[in-house]
Amino acid sequence: MTSIIKVDNLQDANGSGSPYIKDAVLKVYFAEKTDTQDTTGSTFVDITDLSLTITPLSNKSKFLVRANVFMSSDANHAFGRLMRDSTPLSLPDGHASFTRSTAHFGFSSTSAVTYIFAMAGAEKLDDPQTASAITYKVQFSARSDTGTSYINTTSRDQNSAVGSDQRGTSSLTAMEIGG
């Protein structure tokens, strides 16, 4: 015997919204950046358009946060990190030692070329333990001593007949998971 359940809409017991299901993806949030941006210096700045303000369905919700960012630099390195409000997520061990960057992901090249960039990705399962509004965002920085870091373009950004300098799009996705 086969059982089939067909419904037009599922609501919680109060009839006020979707049911909260443990370990299920409850909602997906998405942001995309299609224009370019650049920065100099080692201070992290927000990447415009890569920000999601979310009010969790429960204080037990977790969020799988994923960033895919096209990064480039004219001085070898570009640094990126995921943030929840003003808190960096997923910093590597030893981030406080020396003067190293507190980056979660980034772009590096062996020489200061002006026409290479790469898709840099980051992912974090975050447990904010709140039902109040939170903001996930992506930040980036450059080296402290020299150079500029770029999002969605290279420093040369040449629009030639051979099409050698790419442009890209970057994105931020957050999936709310029932806890």
Mean local confidence (pLDDT), 137-163: 86
Mean local confidence (pLDDT), 63-76: 92
Tens of pLDDT along 5-56? 777 776 667 666 666 778 889 999 999 999 999 999 889 999 999 999 999 9
DSSP-derived letter for residue 16 is S
Identify the CA nearest to 78 among candidates 178, 152, 168: 152
Element housing 58 (H / E): none
CA 75 to chain centre: 23
Tens of pLDDT along 105-131? 887 876 666 777 888 999 999 999 999
